[in-house]
Chain A
Amino acid sequence: MSEMMAGGASAAVAEPSVLVPQVATIRRVTEETPDVKTFQVVFEDPGVTEDFAYLPGQCCMLSLPGSGEAMISITSSPTRRGFLEFAVKKVGIFTSALHELEPGDQIGVRGPYGNHFPLPLMEGRKLLFVGGGIGLAPLRSLINYVIDEKDRFGPVSIIYGARSPEDLVFKEELFHTWAALPHVSLHLTVDKGDASWEGHVGFVPAYLEELAPAPEGTTVITCGPPVMIKFVLQALSKLGFPPERVITTLEMKMKCGVGKCGRCNIGGKYVCVDGPVFTAAELAQLPAEY
């Protein structure tokens, strides 16, 4: 554990709380959009980086003493070792403070937390990714995982949209890396185009219905704003995708990440430990509070 922060108030022996983060240094900052930056970080303690085992879908609590903490999905793939990446949209106090940081600055990281995308539901099958806005962040971890382990998975289709062309995240991968791969097909859309945009214009759920992919042999993984997920799930249901083969992620407020602070409780689940990844079939069993 971190030597940089002193743990537990009444602790005579300093066994630190699980809420004490590791110290990590920002190695690279990529400006994805006007309000999204990707932070590549490495732990100060090389042993921590070495032991940090995770799978796509898992999250970390990022932390800046004085500004707080937030749960952010890991956007790098575990197939690419030696660093972690987090794509963060600037929306509140913590994320605004994070956006001020530069390479060389330190942040706190604890995790990995939560479950991961269920690989057995995807292996040997065609994969359809449906993403919206910053929702591509957790999907990117899985997309790169699937690309790096391509013998284990079928062909990949990605339907991704954002408010405007400049709000599309991971442009380098969307327009170059992924676009160049023969087994990956990309379908981009924006809510509102601009002078230079020649692609599709329209909301993601409508574009999905328009493309009407066949459900046979396909597993769908979707992530985006809650309202997009809601309509994507409806569209998938209309297209005949069984809810057991539709995977999504939930968002809730979180303070601890370890199933104790109570914020992310929905029914008998804590999104931080039992989620964030759920199938549409599992969601149907929860009270309609997500």
Chain B
Amino acid sequence: MAFPMAAPAALAAARLARAALADLWQALAASHRMAAPVACDGVFRFQETADLAAVRLDYNTTILPAKKFFYPPVETIFRFHRHRGALAPDEEACEARRPLALFGLHGCDVRALELLDQVYTGEFSDPAYARARAETFIVALSCLEPGPSCFCTSFRSGPFPESGFDLLLTDLGGHYLVEAGSARGAGLLQQLGAEPADSEDQLLKTHRLREAVARFRRHIPTEGLPRLLNQAFQHPVWQALKDQCLSCGTCTVVCPTCYCFNVWDKVNLDLETGERKMAWDSCQLLDFGQVALGQNFRRDRAARIKQRIYHKLNYFREQYGKFGCVGCGRCVEACVKHIDPVTIVAALKGV
């Protein structure tokens, strides 16, 4: 199995005593809304919180990924006021909000944001997304204990992130190693006046990484994967999955790299005013490919399952040069039928 390389030399690295984590939190909270993993009914979720004591850095994964902060489940594109033959304005005052700091993101979720950036900040950039991303401070967290469905090492998105963060925390037992991944991250380290890290800290981190990687039991072999998929479009595994899948779309809701959306007009009861909305959508739902007169480009459930798996493992790579899956395991955990990309690829390989 490919062994993830240690992170490239960061701009700056410091040791942070466990008790001093609060200083880092306070320094960020002075100018940011803080969001972090917190426990909720026995599971974890990312949410805004002012209280470091509520933050659970020992979390495994959250129900929803961090995309919700940049690409909300439902948004208003514009408001309208229509009367026969004319489109009329309805100006809306927008509140200015403090920027967000995401505290404790694992490598899988950091990579997922980097992938979403390719979609939303490339050609036809989404200004709201781009602004939210640019102003958000990301404190990543090296993941020491994979969850039961995790396979991030397959895509080298984890367990220790290598890019996409302002600061990276690695728990070294007695203290944290804090590494800066951006100029503003380095600036914050400077401001904290923390003791610089030494080569022993880096060695210890490498050791921790080795231990963490060794705990992974699930992998998607990426070598030759596009070729395998290109040859497997008619494989019987898709028909077998068709009989399991309920087309509920949960897998795409919890996926940190799913970005498809619906656009629709919500007309108010006065039949004059309304909003054009966009909302997360799912290629797994029957009406996703449905057009006028009941035509449907992907009526067959097998075609829709294939679309998700191929998009993650093949098409996204053709479009953006990277695999579209980060191995977070959320789709596996959330699926009532436990449809699992790891076992699908294994079946395609005939393992």
Asked if residues A267 and B261 are in contact (CB atoms below 8 Å), the reply is no
Confirm or deny: A12 has a beta carbon within 8 angstroms of a beta carbon on chain B.
yes
Which segment of A16-24, A77-85, A116-124 sits at the interface?
A16-24
In the complex, chain B residues whose CB is within 8 Å of the CB of A290: 297
Stretch at the interface among B51-59, B121-129, B190-198: B121-129
B94 lies within 8 A of A14 (CB): yes
Partner of B263, one of A9, A19, A23, A92: A19
Tell me the minimal C-beta distance from B91 to chain A in angstroms. 5
Mark the stretch among B167-175, B207-215, B312-320, B329-337 that contacts chain A.
B312-320
Query: Is B307 a contact of A265 with CB atoms below 8 Å?
Result: yes
Q: Is A49 an interface residue (CB 8 A)?
A: no
Known contacts A10-B94, A68-B265; A267/B289 CB under 8 A: no
Cα-based distance from A23 to B297 in the complex (angstroms): 31
Q: How far is the CA of A187 from the CA of B167 in the complex (A)?
A: 68
Q: Is the interface of B mostly helix, strand, loop or mixed?
A: mixed
Contacts A8-B94, A10-B97 given; does A69 touch B87 at CB 8 Å: no
Closest to A272 in B: B124
Cross-chain contact A259 with B123 (CB below 8 angstroms): yes
By the criterion CB–CB under 8 Å, are A20 and B261 in contact?
A: no
Size of the B side of the interface (Cβ < 8 Å), in residues, is 63
Contact A95 B292 (CB under 8 A): yes
Return chain A residues, CB-CB under 8 Å to B348: none
Binds B, one of A101-109, A148-156, A171-179: A101-109
Contact B77 A20 (CB under 8 A): yes
Judging by beta carbons under 8 Å apart, are B318 and A267 in contact?
A: yes
Does A262 count as interface, using CB distance less than 8 angstroms? Answer: yes
Find out whether the CB atom of A66 lies under 8 angstroms from the CB atom of B263. Answer: no
- In the complex the two chains form, is B291's CB within 8 Å of A17's CB? no
| Interchain CB contact under 8 A, B263 and A289 | no
Q: Is the CB of A91 within 8 A of B292?
A: yes
Complex interface: chain A residues within 8 A of B288 (CB): 253, 263
A125 CB-CB contact with B under 8 Å = no
The answer for the CA separation of A107 and B82 in the assembled complex, in Å, is: 11
> Are B264 and A268 within 8 A (Cβ)?
no
Q: Which residues of A contact B317 (CB under 8 A)?
A: 268
Q: In the complex, which of the residues B87, B96, B271, B310 has the most CB atoms of chain A within 10 Å of its own CB atom?
A: B87
Given contacts A260-B261, A262-B259, contact A7 B78 (CB under 8 A): yes
Please determine whether B87 and A6 come into contact, CB atoms closer than 8 angstroms. Answer: no
* Cβ of A194 under 8 Å from chain B: no
**Cβ–Cβ contact A101 & B85, under 8 A:** yes
- Chain B CB within 8 A of A27 CB: no
CA distance A210 to B309 in the complex (A): 44
Give CA–CA (A108, B263) in the complex, Å.
Answer: 15
Per the bound structure, the CA–CA distance linking A122 and B54 in Å amounts to: 66
CA gap between A231 and B293 in the complex, in Å: 22
From known contacts A12-B94, A261-B261, A273-B123, infer whether A66 and B77 are also in contact, taking CB-CB under 8 Å: no
User: Is A252 engaged at the interface, CB distance under 8 Å to the other chain?
Assistant: yes
The A contact surface, by secondary structure, is loop
Query: CA A91 – CA B292 in complex, angstroms?
Result: 6
User: A256 within 8 Å of B by Cβ?
Assistant: yes
Q: In chain B between 83 and 138, which residues have their CB closer than 8 angstroms to a CB of chain A?
A: 84-92, 94-97, 119-120, 123-128, 131-132
Q: Name the residue of chain A whose CB is nearest to the CB of B293.
A: A91
Which residues of A246-290 are within 8 A (CB) of B?
A: 252-253, 255-256, 258-263, 265, 267-268, 270, 273, 287-290
How far does the alpha carbon of A108 sit from the alpha carbon of B132 in the complex, in Å?
A: 27
Chain B residues with Cβ below 8 Å from A12 are: 94-97
**Interface membership of chain A positions 41-81, coded 1 if the CB is closer than 8 angstroms to chain B and 0 otherwise:** 00000000000000000000000111111000000000000
Residue pair A4, B120 in contact (C-beta under 8 Å): no
> Would you call A256 and B128 a contact (CB within 8 A)?
no
Chain A residue total in the interface (Cβ 8 A): 54
A216 touches B (CB below 8 Å)? no
Are B128 and A268 within 8 A (Cβ)? no
Docked complex Cα distance between A9 and B289 (Å): 27
Beyond A12-B94, A65-B87, whether A5 also contacts B262 by CB under 8 A is no
Q: Please tell me if the beta carbons of B263 and A65 are within 8 angstroms of each other in the complex.
A: no
Say whether B278 faces chain A, with CB atoms less than 8 Å apart. Answer: yes
Closest to B91 in A: A6
Q: Which residue of A has the minimal Cβ distance to B124?
A: A258
B3: which A residues are within 8 A, CB to CB? Answer: none
- Tell me if A11 counts as interface (CB < 8 A to partner B): yes
Residues of the A chain whose Cβ atoms lie less than 8 Å from the Cβ of B216: none
* CB <8 Å contact, A7 and B319: no
Q: Kindly state whether residue A15 has any CB partner on chain B within 8 Å.
A: yes
Q: How far is the CB of B295 from chain A (nearest CB, A)?
A: 9
Chain A 138-154, CB-CB to B under 8 Å as 1, else 0, gives 00000000000000000
A198 at the interface (CB under 8 A from B): no
Chain A CB within 8 A of B249 CB = no
12 contacts between A and B (CB under 8 A): A9-B92, A17-B128, A18-B124, A20-B77, A102-B85, A105-B86, A107-B87, A259-B123, A260-B126, A262-B311, A268-B314, A288-B233
Q: Which residues of B contact A (CB under 8 A)?
A: 72, 75-80, 82, 84-92, 94-97, 119-120, 123-128, 131-132, 233, 259-265, 267, 271, 274, 276, 278, 281, 283, 288-293, 297-298, 303, 307, 310-311, 314-315, 317-319
16 more A-B contacts (CB under 8 A) besides A20-B77, A255-B281, A267-B315? A5-B87, A5-B89, A5-B90, A9-B94, A10-B97, A18-B125, A107-B87, A108-B87, A253-B288, A253-B290, A255-B262, A260-B119, A260-B126, A263-B288, A267-B318, A288-B233
The 9 A-B residue pairs whose C-beta atoms are closest, nearest first, are: A268-B318, A92-B292, A262-B260, A65-B80, A258-B124, A105-B85, A12-B96, A5-B78, A91-B292
